[in-house]
Chain A
Amino acid sequence: MTTTRTEAPPAKDPADPAPAPRGSRGRGRLVPYWLLLPGILWLIVFFALPLVYQASTSVQTGSLEEGFKVTWHFATYWDALTDYWPQFLRSVLYAGAATVLCLLLGYPLAYLIAFRAGRWRNLILVLVIAPFFTSFLIRTLAWKTILADGGPVVGALNSLHVLDVTSWLGATDGDRVLATPLAVICGLTYNFLPFMILPLYTSLERIDGRLHEAAGDLYAKPSTTFRKVTFPLSMPGVVSGTLLTFIPAAGDYVNADLLGSTDTRMVGNVIQTQFLRILDYPTAAALSFILMAAILLMVTFYIRKSGTEDLV
């Protein structure tokens, strides 16, 4: 009995109603391409092709009335950079600050869910994910209430003299928080925090608990265990979490618009206004190309530096 099994394990019975092997193998080779075709076509036409169009738009000149023509006018890039470098700088600074805050705030929660939550784990995970399903605009508007002038949060920060320090740093304005950089950074941190927590949690959860016991057996203090075992092993989560927060935060304009003022405009705000209000398409296209290139450069450098190239 066993010999017949081993001789032809996957072979089918002659009575098998499946189509002839040769024909199915010929068609089988094309199966992955048929599966890929519609989706990949969608991405090529509506993701890759638009980028090409945008590249060509960025080197056009003209006006809405006369129409735009490709004139290889690269000076648009230079003009966009010299005109809007403060907004670029702000985008990088705000997004960077939000990413650091997300890491500092998100790590304990991810750690809590992975190791200390016990039977509460699923509930806490739901509470982290559930805000995703409520409109983020409504939640961002709620920050206007929370950070309102003379509200409890501002009052508390004021009596703790936190606002004196942040005002000195230029992040707040006197005893106001709303319409200052701090409010924008607070909103960015809040909006992208789940993007930090979830990858951190996934990589922490993969860590074998016995490694902690082993470190303890070798007389490592909890802080040493964290520094030498837990944190290094969670690096993939740290890297993908920081990327998932930094990239969207750098391109965001909603927080800067709802919680900030004209002094907190980020590059996203400029692209939005140029595209939808001023209708200066070449400048807007050049700006978004610079943003994309800058982010790609930073990300590549960062991934090289953190030595986890196979991660993404």
Chain B
Amino acid sequence: MAILRWLRRNLVVIAGLCTLAYLLLPNVIVTVFSFNKPKGRFNYSWQEFSTDAWQNPCDVADMCGSLSLSLQIATWATIGATVLGTMIAFALVRYRFRARGAINSLIFLPMAMPEVVMAASLLTLFLNMGAQLGFWTVLIAHIMFCLSFVVTAVKARVMSMDPRLEQAAQDLYAGPVQTFLRVTLPIAAPGIAAGALLAFALSFDDFIITNFNAGSTVTFPMFVWGSAQRGTPVQINVIGTAMFLVAVLLVLAGMLIGKRRNKQSR
């Protein structure tokens, strides 16, 4: 009876942890199978333990090239989308002007549109313009769909900012530039960082829009897609595992820094 009562009281916790397990199961499988030594082309069943793939992750032709291309695109797309998105977010929160409603829906629509639709329509534009598909078309597309997410993240932070802090800075004879650099920007930084991180993840991981607009350029997700048909090398699981670890460490480090800063400011 006691067990039953305990189960009932903790039903939510148990169900929640089951969902968490569902979310993390593929990551566990990817990690485990990065130590596999498959027979044949496909790495879908466990054969024997080996660290071969971890020792030479770039052994697979073209994989690391596509990885570095994806990192480059993600970096530039993050910079572009963060700069443009932060500017838009400040304009939307800080100023009242005509066409605000229209601009808000223009920001919202890309997030509410299925990716195939955006991918296909962008391809029609590029085909009509006669643009050469490749690095630049991918970068343009990535900045476009990351932009809305950055605006949303930065907007949330700037909206919760106390405008009196900036007034105080101006009362203390700080010029507009000084106020922006020493007061506004540091306070908005966590929102901007969140937006940038999101943009990086979205751009690095995007497959659908990239697949339509990349031409013969192969990014890392496209390499994975292609290899799914030809047989996935174990090294892909190594990269997947490493990315997961880096992400967890980065986010945890960010949280620790945030916590320490909060303590100091208190």
Q: Do A and B bind each other?
A: yes
Segment touching A, from B48-56, B119-127, B182-190:
B119-127
Q: Are B87 and A53 in contact (CB under 8 A)?
A: no
Query: What CA separation (Å) do A111 and B15 show in the bound complex?
Result: 10
Q: Are A136 and B205 in contact (CB under 8 A)?
A: yes
Minimum CB–CB distance from A51 to chain B (whole Å) comes to: 5
* Chain B residue contacts of A291, Cβ below 8 A: 114, 116-117
Query: What CA separation (Å) do A38 and B80 show in the bound complex?
Result: 10
Q: A43-B147, A46-B122, A139-B26 are in contact. Are A17 and B175 (CB under 8 A)?
A: yes
State whether the Cβ of A243 lies closer than 8 Å to any Cβ in chain B.
Answer: yes
Number of residues from A at the complex interface, CB < 8 A = 87
> Which residues 97-151 in B have Cβ within 8 Å of A in the complex?
97, 103, 106-110, 112-118, 120-125, 127-128, 140-141, 143-144, 147-148, 151
Interface size class of B (residues with CB under 8 A): 35 or more
**B10-27 Cβ-contact flags toward A at 8 Å (1 or 0):** 001101111110111111
Minimum CB–CB distance from A288 to chain B (whole Å) comes to: 4
Minimum CB–CB distance from A190 to chain B (whole Å) comes to: 7
Name the residue on B nearest A246 (C-beta): B114
Name the residue on A nearest B84 (C-beta): A39
> Which residues 29-57 in B have Cβ within 8 Å of A in the complex?
29-30, 33, 44-45
State whether the Cβ of B181 lies closer than 8 Å to any Cβ in chain A.
Answer: no
> Which residues 247-301 in A have Cβ within 8 Å of B in the complex?
247-248, 250-254, 258, 268, 271-272, 275-276, 281, 284-285, 288-289, 291-292, 295, 299
State whether the Cβ of B207 lies closer than 8 Å to any Cβ in chain A.
Answer: yes
State whether the Cβ of B173 lies closer than 8 Å to any Cβ in chain A.
Answer: yes
State whether the Cβ of A219 lies closer than 8 Å to any Cβ in chain B.
Answer: no
Q: A133-B201, A134-B30, A145-B44 are in contact. Are A112 and B16 (CB under 8 A)?
A: yes
> Which residues 203-260 in B have Cβ within 8 Å of A in the complex?
204-205, 207-208, 211-212, 220-221, 224-225, 228, 232, 236-237, 239-241, 243-244, 246-248, 251-252, 255
Q: Are A53 and B251 in contact (CB under 8 A)?
A: no
What is A's interface to B at a CB cutoff of 8 Å? Answer: 10, 12-13, 16-18, 31-33, 35-36, 38-40, 42-44, 46-51, 53-54, 57, 105-106, 108-113, 116, 122, 124, 126-146, 148, 190, 193-194, 197, 243, 247-248, 250-254, 258, 268, 271-272, 275-276, 281, 284-285, 288-289, 291-292, 295, 299, 312
